[in-house]
Structure 1
């Protein structure tokens, strides 16, 4: 590490310490004054206090996002710490059960809806076996074994949590978080992308599975069901009446989810028909998940399952991309930090310290023993099927098992139910979440490269010809026909350099690149031969095949300069209008 890097590193973490200290000071010293001042308002004082708390969450969320960007710390971890030091000011929200439950529910609904949108459905169908094995069977086994581990280990450390609360804690922490997994894959190029698709898709589905499991257990316990051991609690799930209840919850949730998908599909087809991006699409993306959640919950189904099904089935089309970006930024920039901040604010620092040895011990066993065991148990059968899963892939999937935002939501939900042992349960759960989010994401690239299943995305090769260049972008085999448009434009604008930027993304391999290279060379020769025969000057053609996403490669190419125009297919790019303008290069969309 150079001196400049060391100085930057020191400053980044010093700034985090300063901001945490400032947040604690302002929260502890000025909360009472602000509360008294707002409470002095004759009308609407309670509403103003809640609104003020939400503003604080917005501000802290922005600070957390900016502070986390240059560090290896996930923003979620910082959000938890800021929640802990800002407990006094956030208490205005935390101590209002109705407002807290409403915010948490809205957050969970929108996060699950986004999880469905981010799940690549085409890949999901081809990898259905291992995904469902991990997400359904694996999550059930995970919840059971974690509950047994908690029941055993906490007693050894002198930590007491009632049995029913322990069962709920195990179920809440059983799922993983795609939002924590996806950023750790950035900059990696997988030799077999299926391992990435399995990790992302499975983590989105097991969030729903964990939510359904907690909802069912909570319903049983609040309605008088009881158990004297963890195994007895899980045996309740096999009784006829409970099985009928589970089937009803899942069936109704699925049907309502399909109804939501139908609304989204109808709206999408109508917008495509009228060929406009104007309108209230954002309201639909917020309204549909809340509608299906409410409807499913009212008629006895799983609202969380309904939300996920509606978004999983819906394929985002190009005319909805601007809405998806807005929706994604809303969830990432506000909902997720808010939930982690509120989780941190709900845990007493004294409780967190009191259960530290137990929480850390359980967390480490959970990460490095329990979860790998479950991955191997559920995926080994697929070593002998057409999937042919490898040991290295299973080791990698064992490591990327971060516990994130939906488990945090479920912990808060359990706490709001008022079961005994809530305070201790929240503290232990927070330790486990902190450990998985702190240890696993920064080490994921190292583990992937060490196992040989991924490598860092290499830089783009240097250009052969300098000067202004017209770039045709492609991910498939449509470039020969589209090249005619590029050549005509170059001739009309006196641009002598034409580049084909080909990014096959998941199909990227040396063999694939070599095949495309031969096809391009032949195409370039044919075009120049025709130009010469017509008495025109030859053009300087160049083929560039970049690994990784097309959007990333376009940005890297533009950053190098001399790009006059970018030619792309109308359905190729996921940029919204503001992103295209930011690149400051003309885009020509070819039908």
Structure 2
């Protein structure tokens, strides 16, 4: 009987995967025709296919399978985003990047927490926990959007890099506040900053090591014995960088992002692949990245709890509106507006205020809080999903339009 149950479960999962790939491919074509980011279509499709609607896909958010898809999919999308980053561009904007990815998260947390305290009537520590949960931006959303919408290089790469680097800070602040909320200690700014520096530095180190080794084995003049297996090497290194950093209590997401940066800038380190092998690797990464987006966002949409969202809908929407129109602009202008080196224009700052979608990482944090039975976990999960839906559907779909209005689109 147990064997039969296992077989039936395997068939159910296989059918779900087939549906995700088939429907995802169709709506990817639709997204291209409509000129909208495909992640928006995938999220809407997921909402329709989940248990609350058609019931075609039912993979629990707390299941091992779902966590595997979320972790590996997010890692691979981060790797893809890192590979598109040019180090020479980041040299101009590193001050803004570092400040937004650290202090900026604290600013967003504080402003959103105050809004939640007054509007939702939460206890101060629970309101702050909500702010911390949704404070970080989402690379799994932003990287695909900027793959499809060609924004001026330094703006796009600053936003993508911030979204990767601020995940560590968002997680650290969330769990620091959680410790206080559950009576496990008091918040220590010095400890939080030290923890951030440790996770960041170690994540960069691990990602750098894996990136250098991968570049050497696939692109070194004499040691590139794995050049024909570059796609396999990239997958192995993504897993290795994440697990290596995570095992050392560092940011696995930062490690895979840095690994992508190293591989994408391998020419700067004296490594150069043959044109045919380079094209094969790029095609593989683009195709695999598309599949990961299908799985992540269709599943994310399918797992939305409409009953929970409806319970806190009005207050949650107001908090998210303030989050989008007050917290994010304050973060951008306070953190990047005074960067004399970058010399941001008002239009560039305005665009960065609008591009800060919430997605996989905040969703995962909210899910963990529910699993840990943290104070106010249900309302935090509700507002988090409202933020995911509003920012992806509203902001991601208008990215190209806004960039065009502000004159920030790259010339074709």
| SS across alignment from 1:254 | helix
Change (3 A) 1:347 1:256: same
Specify which structure has the higher proportion of helix. 2
| SS across alignment from 1:311 | helix
Structure 1 CA distance for aligned equivalents of residues 176 and 342 of structure 2: 38
Q: Write out per-residue CA displacement over residues 70-118 of structure 1, whole angstroms, 9 at most, x where no aligned residue.
A: 2255332332232223223566421662222122111121122112112
Matching residue of 1:82? 45
2:352 counterpart of 1:429? no
Q: Write out per-residue CA displacement over residues 248-272 of structure 1, whole angstroms, 9 at most, x where no aligned residue.
A: 33333222222212211221333x5
Matching residue of 1:179? 143
Report 1:500-515 matches (<5 A).
none
Matching residue of 1:125? 91
Matching residue of 1:268? 218
Q: Write out per-residue CA displacement over residues 339-392 of structure 1, whole angstroms, 9 at most, x where no aligned residue.
A: 22222222222222333222322222222222112211112212xx24332223
Specify which structure has the higher proportion of strand. 1
TM-score by length of 2: 0.82
Please, which moves more after superposition, 300-309 or 390-399?
390-399
Structure 2: gaps spanning 5 or more residues: 267-271
Question: Following TM superposition, by how much is the alpha carbon of 1:228 offset from its aligned partner in structure 2, in angstroms?
Answer: 8.8
- Aligned-residue CA RMSD (Å): 3.4
Structure 1 CA distance for aligned equivalents of residues 358 and 301 of structure 2: 15
Structure 1: gaps spanning 5 or more residues: 1-37, 458-546, 549-591
Question: Following TM superposition, by how much is the alpha carbon of 1:276 offset from its aligned partner in structure 2, in angstroms?
Answer: 8.8
Matching residue of 1:252? 202
Aligned length: 398
Report 1:383-398 matches (<5 A).
385-398=340-353
Structure 2 CA distance for aligned equivalents of residues 228 and 243 of structure 1: 21
Structure 2 CA distance for aligned equivalents of residues 228 and 312 of structure 1: 38
Structure 2 CA distance for aligned equivalents of residues 277 and 244 of structure 1: 39
Report 1:364-443 matches (<5 A).
364-382=321-339, 385-419=340-374, 421-443=376-398
* Larger CA Rg, structure 1 vs 2: 1
Q: Write out per-residue CA displacement over residues 103-152 of structure 1, whole angstroms, 9 at most, x where no aligned residue.
A: 21111211221121122222112322222232332233223322332333
Q: Write out per-residue CA displacement over residues 499-544 of structure 1, whole angstroms, 9 at most, x where no aligned residue.
A: xxxxxxxxxxxxxxxxxxxxxxxxxxxxxxxxxxxxxxxxxxxxxx
Question: Are the aligned partners of 1:180 and 1:441 in contact in 2 as well (CA < 8 Å)?
Answer: no
Matching residue of 1:347? 304
Question: Are the aligned partners of 2:132 and 2:170 in contact in 1 as well (CA < 8 Å)?
Answer: no
Q: Write out per-residue CA displacement over residues 390-442 of structure 1, whole angstroms, 9 at most, x where no aligned residue.
A: 22322232223333444444444544555354443333222222222233344
Structure 2 CA distance for aligned equivalents of residues 418 and 162 of structure 1: 18
Question: Are the aligned partners of 2:155 and 2:348 in contact in 1 as well (CA < 8 Å)?
Answer: no
**Correspondent of 1:51 among 7, 14, 27:** 14
Matching residue of 2:80? 114
Report 1:405-484 matches (<5 A).
405-419=360-374, 421-451=376-406, 453-454=407-408
Matching residue of 1:467? none
Structure 2 CA distance for aligned equivalents of residues 343 and 415 of structure 1: 16
Matching residue of 2:251? 302
Change (3 A) 1:283 1:113: same
Structure 1 CA distance for aligned equivalents of residues 350 and 6 of structure 2: 59
